[in-house]
Amino acid sequence: MGLDRRSLLATSVALAAFGSGVVRAEGASSDGAMAQAEFPSAAETIELWPKGAPGDLDPNRIERVVERSTDSNIRDRAMSGISNPRMLVVRARQPNGGALLVIPGGGYRHIVVDKEGLETARWASEQGLTAFVLFHRLPGEGWADRANVPSRDAQRAVRLARHHSGRLGFDPARIAMIGFSAGGHVAAEASVNAVSIDAPVDSADREDCTPACTALLYPVISMREPLAHAGSRRLLLGERPPASAESAHSPDRNVTDKAPPFFLAHAEDDSAVSVQNTVAMRDALKAKRVAVETHLFAEGGHGFGMRRIDRGTLSLWPQMLLAWMKEHGVA
């Protein structure tokens, strides 16, 4: 089910936790207390890169969080200018030993803080999962190797989550990943393009970066026309990317039989990201005999998250996801 207004408002205060309980990538944590009792489970953030994110070409970048909602009861913030990629930790209410890394969308222009990030984390915590909300670098904001920075941040986040799993109380083998829209592209790339670390940053880099299973909601997949989401492709690859770059960053073209199981969900009336992106990913996974479950809904549009699901079968997708994660030993 979706979240009601009171839950949405309670979830929105969690962003304040970014200032308390910051955990560097290596070493012990502080359990900084939340000032807001409404969301006690969000108590810390984990910075991804202890010596600064690699490849920073813009020392003047300014982080901004813009409120887009016109409803005082519902937050809808968008974050950009991220120089310090990090993840917010939302502890499970009654831990069951599983974890979920949440990657919000935003077309690579910004990151959708509330609707796809904090609200998903709140839902996950209520299911017994330790949740992490990833705020990764945005490729169009002055980074070397721009096309790889989002997925590298996601892989580093999985390694760090596993590194901290003992302290946070979950099984490092039981971490799933979920990505929405462009965050789905990040999650897909991070799941199918596992990379070795030539120069480890710290001991966390000894951990595996592939999640146990991955869920994609209305994902950007292809970087090739006509399926490509034009804005995401431009910000990730530039104005006129070569065909080789388009293929290298189209996860459906890079699936191997080593990929984890996938859960895919998309509305067929999505006018922003064609449902054929999900179909292409499903076909690629099936071709490699990777376990995949696909749900195509007749209506729902783009960006429904856990809000616009108060009617029809679309309202069931969180329960479908939970059941699927249970089948794969995460939830």
How far lies 231's CA from each of 212, 221, 254, in Å? 30, 13, 22
* Residue extents of the structural domains in the chain: 5-327
For the stretch 153-212, pLDDT in tens is 999 999 999 999 999 999 999 999 999 999 999 999 999 987 766 678 899 999 999 999
Residue 30: what pLDDT?
35
Quick: pLDDT tens for 214-263. 999 999 999 999 999 999 999 999 999 999 999 999 999 999 999 999 99
Structure letter (DSSP) for residue 98: -
- The structure tokens listed for 225 are 């026309």
Which residues sit opposite 47 in a β-bridge? 86
Q: Which of the pair, 23 or 207, is modelled with greater confidence?
A: 207
What mean pLDDT, rounded, does the chain reach? Answer: 88
E strand map for 56-143: 64-67, 77-80, 86-90, 99-103, 111-112, 130-135
Tens digit of each residue's pLDDT (9 = 90 or more) over 91-150? 998 999 999 999 999 999 999 999 999 999 999 999 999 999 999 999 999 999 999 999
Amino acid at 331: A
Give CA angle at 158 (153, 163), nearest 5°. 120
The DSSP annotation for 187-247 comes to: HHHHHH-----SS-SSGGGGS--S-SEEEEES-----STTTS-HHHHHHHH-SS--HHHHH
Closest C-alpha to 263, from 292, 222, 301: 292
**Quick check: pTM over 0.85?**
yes
Q: How many CB atoms lie within 10 A of CB 319?
A: 11
- For 32-50, the pLDDT digits (tens) are 332 233 344 455 899 999 8
Q: Which residue is listed with tokens 């300014």?
A: 62
State the virtual CA torsion across 121, 125, 127, 132 in degrees, nearest 10: 50
Architecture of domain 5-327: 3-Layer(aba) Sandwich (3.40)
- For residue 34, what pLDDT is reported? 27
CA 18 – CA 10 distance, rounded (Å) = 16
Per-residue model confidence (pLDDT) at position 20 = 44
Reported as a pLDDT band with limits 50, 70 and 90, residue 306 is confident
- First and final CA of the chain: distance in angstroms? 17
Q: In the predicted model, what is the mean pLDDT of residues 310-319?
A: 88
